[in-house]
Amino acid sequence: MYLPLSKSPCLFSESRAISKYIIRKYKSAGEAADLLREGDLRESAMVDVWTEVEAHQYNPALSPVVYECLILPAMRGVPTNQKVVDESLEKLRKVLDVYEARLSKHTYLAGDSVSFADLNHFPFTFYSASLFDSYPHVKAWWERLVARPSMKKLGATMAAAAAAGIKA
């Protein structure tokens, strides 16, 4: 697979494309066929919309918080830049207001069943779900996601990796 911006085998910015490729390649393996909703244009478009919202609004607001509060202090011994955290949290609150409105009408972001758009939120949200306490519909959405057996397994793997990284 050609990755135009890559100087290494995989960049995080290309991980969504790689994930979609894998879902399409192995779509006969059960639920994966439905994660992109490719059989219904409207549903597929909603998956695309919320995947783009995650990539361009949610992730850019949340990732600096995770880096400043968890990754940089634990792995590099760098103190948290509170100004970056505060600015990012303000941006995140605006994004979460939109999510709260959407999830007050739908069980999941792209509709009423889990999709690729929902699962894309897992990596950084796993470390920061406590930020959802003021957003009951967002919190319920997250709790549904992490209750899924595959997400429990992924969460356990991520927690073990984080613990190992912090000890090093």
CA distances from 78 to 47, 69, 72, 127, 168 (A): 37, 10, 5, 18, 15
- Give the whole-angstrom CA distance, residue 9 versus residue 2: 10
Name the pTM for this structure. Answer: 0.83
Query: What pLDDT sits at residue 30?
Result: 55
- Give Cα 29 distance to the centre of its chain: 22
Give the Cα-Cα-Cα angle 127, 14, 26 (nearest 5 degrees): 90
- pLDDT of 101 > 50? The answer is yes
What would the DSSP string read from start to end of 19-34? HHHHHHHTTTSSGGGG
pLDDT tens, position by position, 35-61? 998 888 999 999 999 999 999 999 999
User: What is the span of the domain harbouring residue 123?
Assistant: 37-167
The answer to whether position 27 is within a domain reads no
Four-CA torsion 98, 122, 11, 45, nearest 10 degrees: -50
pLDDT tens, position by position, 59-93? 999 999 999 998 899 888 999 999 999 999 999 99
The answer to whether position 132 is within a domain reads yes
**Mean pLDDT of the region 135-152:** 95
Token reading at 37? 């909703």
The answer to whether position 128 is within a domain reads yes
- Give the whole-angstrom CA distance, residue 147 versus residue 114: 12
User: Which CATH number does the domain housing residue 49 bear?
Assistant: 1.20.1050.10
